[in-house]
Structure 1
Amino acid sequence: MSDETSLIRFGVIADPQYADADPWAELDRHYRESPRKLREAITVLNNEDLSFVVTLGDLIDRDAKSFGDILPVYDALRHESFLMPGNHDFSIAPDLLAKVHETLGMPAPWHHFARNGFRFVVIDGNEVSLFSAPEGHPRRALAQQMLDTLLAEGAINAKPWNAGISDEQFSWLKSVLEKAKADGEKVIVMGHYPLFPENDHNLWNAQKLIDLFEQAGNVTAYLNGHNHVGNLGRHGSTWYVNFKGMVDTKDENSFAVVEIFADRIEITGHGREESRSLPL
């Protein structure tokens, strides 16, 4: 880390994906190791001067009782904590689906907050999906329609484990970016699904958001998980940073501290997460 003072510093965790389940050897996912890794990460992050720590979705792999095991680990975190769901957080009983955001202590499925002159925006990429609402819900029909269209187009992200956002959420996001621009705020958008570069894990309507960010011109970075191997890209003035999944590998951890300076973003990676210096 430089001796230069950053504008803001915060911690990032992606995809702990805990379950009381045997490892998935083919994907090198070790579900029972995640609480230990999360405790280790929190010990490190507690020794840092941070504005907050964000977890970019998939706290669990399956089963609502997994929340009861992983969420108490966060009690040891001395920083403000922001959680959001990923697709696996909806791998629970249908009657509990509507309670996921509440379980994670979120003020709303999509929301925003200001810290140190930055506007942080949390989007809900699970909104239009085949898993976040029970059978028969209108959003399920919309999700099937969206997926069928992408399949017909041969889109590489036309996968049932991906999802999209509604026109309503898109309009909300557009208005938040416009207000931030009028107020002279730089914006960091955070979600579970990647948007760029093109990948089979990307949000179904990723291009719509990429175009919006380019038009707005004030989105410094978009941060996400979901694709456990990680990724990085830049489009227009926005950096797209895909953080690696904590659940992967038996022993190696993965988390990061992000610092934003006037001229760059510095990412200090721990474990499998890469350290990067991204010019602005």
Structure 2
Amino acid sequence: MATIAIMEENSLNINLHRNENLQPIISFGLITDIHYANNDDRWNYSNTFLRRYRNSLNLVDQACNYWLNGIYPIAFIIQLGDLIDGCCYTNKTSINDLKIILEQFRNISPIYHIWGNHELYNFTRNELLNGPLCSFDTKNISPGHYGTFKVSPNLRIIAIDTYELSLLGIDKNNTLYIQSMNLLRKYNQNENINDPTGLDGYQQRFIQLNGGLTQKQLIWLKEQLLQAKDLHEKVIIVGHIPIHPKACDELALLWNYEDVLDILWTFDNNILAYIAGHSHEGAYFYDEKNIHHLTFQAIVECEPDTNAFATVHVYKEYLIIEGVGRIGTYRIDFNKFK
């Protein structure tokens, strides 16, 4: 796809402008769509990429070795969702497989976990809230799982829950489940609600494997951005599902992406980037408000001789997202208009 070609070209240009003598304020790791399972390889749903479930262990091990032995120490990792695959639930190995993949991260901590659809195939929201993948204080937002933390004096990360509005991981009598079903049935009349047949263009996003933000979370997001604006902070937002239709496959887009973009574009001077997974081929788009949309490629669909992870190096006036393997490298300036 064209967006991947743009990303590769961007990677070549950025490497020419990096100052290797300047030490970053802080560095952290990014990785997504690991999909570990003790399962034989098989083709994805569109029969375009082979999912190498067991090889994910090797690739995470390589990423951790890279981070642990790099020039600059890693302060933390953000894992963008789908840590284990849905087939773990079918094989009745969810808990054991989760333990195995978490052990691969060894001594790197903390790890901020974002929940994808495959976490919710394997566990209920209540189980996730009380397990090792709960990374934020959810006392006042349960069953939501979102939060924010400061990376450096001039940079904040906001993690959103792209499945708070969802059919996954919650009881069918739950108000959010009913609200989600009503939304999907407004557009998707197929017997199988994961079937996009008859849906045109971006309406194909109205399938069960996607989700959205509740009104409560949208209000919270706006409040966090107001705080960042008042403190003159730049912001990176992370979530599992992409929020811009030019940064993903049409089947892998947030249900209410327009609501989220409307908020982000109000604070475009503060927001640097939105980073996601979910759309396994990856993509990059620089939108009309000068926000970078980066969708990282999936670990599980890497060829045996490559990988897909990134290290973010934060400097005073810019940051470098240094990709490895299938992921490109980007420079993002804090001052967008210089």
User: Same fold per TM (> 0.5)?
Assistant: yes
Q: Does 1:77 align with 2:107?
A: yes
1:214/1:237 contact within 8 Å kept: no
Tell me what 2:135 maps to: 106
Q: Which moved more, 1:146-155 or 1:111-120?
A: 146-155
Tell me what 2:290 maps to: 237
Count how many residue pairs are aligned between Structure 1 and Structure 2.
Answer: 277
Provide the TM-score with structure 1 as the length reference. Answer: 0.91
Tell me what 1:180 maps to: 228
1:85/1:101 contact within 8 Å kept: no
Q: How far off its partner does 1:269 sit?
A: 1.3
Tell me what 1:124 maps to: 161
Would the alpha carbon gap of residues 134 and 148 (structure 1) be closer, same or farther in structure 2, given more than 3 Å must change?
A: same
Q: How far off its partner does 1:273 sit?
A: 1.5
Separation in structure 2 between the aligned mates of residue 20 and residue 211 of structure 1, nearest angstrom: 41
Structure 2 residue matching 1:266: 3-state secondary structure: strand
Separation in structure 2 between the aligned mates of residue 193 and residue 101 of structure 1, nearest angstrom: 19
Deviations 1:15-56 (A, max 9, x none): 111112221222311111111211111110112323321110
Separation in structure 1 between the aligned mates of residue 175 and residue 245 of structure 2, nearest angstrom: 30
Q: Does 1:223 align with 2:275?
A: yes
Gaps of 5+ in 1: none
Q: Does 1:87 align with 2:117?
A: yes
- For 2:261, which of 164, 186, 210 is the aligned residue? 210
1:233/1:240 contact within 8 Å kept: yes
Q: How far off its partner does 1:145 sit?
A: 1.8
Structure 2 residue matching 1:91: 3-state secondary structure: helix
Aligned-pair Cα RMSD in Å: 2.0
Provide the TM-score with structure 2 as the length reference. Answer: 0.76
- Equivalent positions of 1:131-142 (< 5 A) are 131-142=168-179
Tell me what 2:77 maps to: 53
Separation in structure 1 between the aligned mates of residue 273 and residue 187 of structure 2, nearest angstrom: 26
Structure 1 residue matching 2:150: 3-state secondary structure: strand
Residue 327 of structure 2 aligns to which amino acid in structure 1?
A: E
Q: Which moved more, 1:228-237 or 1:258-267?
A: 258-267
Deviations 1:63-93 (A, max 9, x none): 222212212222x133432112100111126
Separation in structure 1 between the aligned mates of residue 313 and residue 134 of structure 2, nearest angstrom: 25
Would the alpha carbon gap of residues 197 and 263 (structure 1) be closer, same or farther in structure 2, given more than 3 Å must change?
A: farther
Separation in structure 1 between the aligned mates of residue 59 and residue 156 of structure 2, nearest angstrom: 29
Tell me what 1:23 maps to: 41
Structure 1 residue matching 2:62: 3-state secondary structure: helix
Tell me what 2:237 maps to: 189
Q: How high is the sequence identity, in percent, across the aligned residues?
A: 26
- For 2:323, which of 269, 272, 276 is the aligned residue? 269
Residue 98 of structure 2 aligns to which amino acid in structure 1?
A: F
1:197/1:233 contact within 8 Å kept: no
Q: Which moved more, 1:52-61 or 1:1-10?
A: 1-10
Would the alpha carbon gap of residues 206 and 7 (structure 1) be closer, same or farther in structure 2, given more than 3 Å must change?
A: farther
Q: Which moved more, 1:252-261 or 1:143-152?
A: 143-152
Tell me what 2:302 maps to: 249
Q: Which moved more, 1:266-275 or 1:177-186?
A: 266-275
Tell me what 2:98 maps to: 67
Residue 240 of structure 1 aligns to which amino acid in structure 2?
A: H
Structure 1 residue matching 2:204: 3-state secondary structure: coil
1:29/1:250 contact within 8 Å kept: no
Separation in structure 2 between the aligned mates of residue 91 and residue 55 of structure 1, nearest angstrom: 17
Structure 2 residue matching 1:31: 3-state secondary structure: coil
Residue 144 of structure 1 aligns to which amino acid in structure 2?
A: M
Tell me what 2:186 maps to: 149
1:86/1:192 contact within 8 Å kept: yes
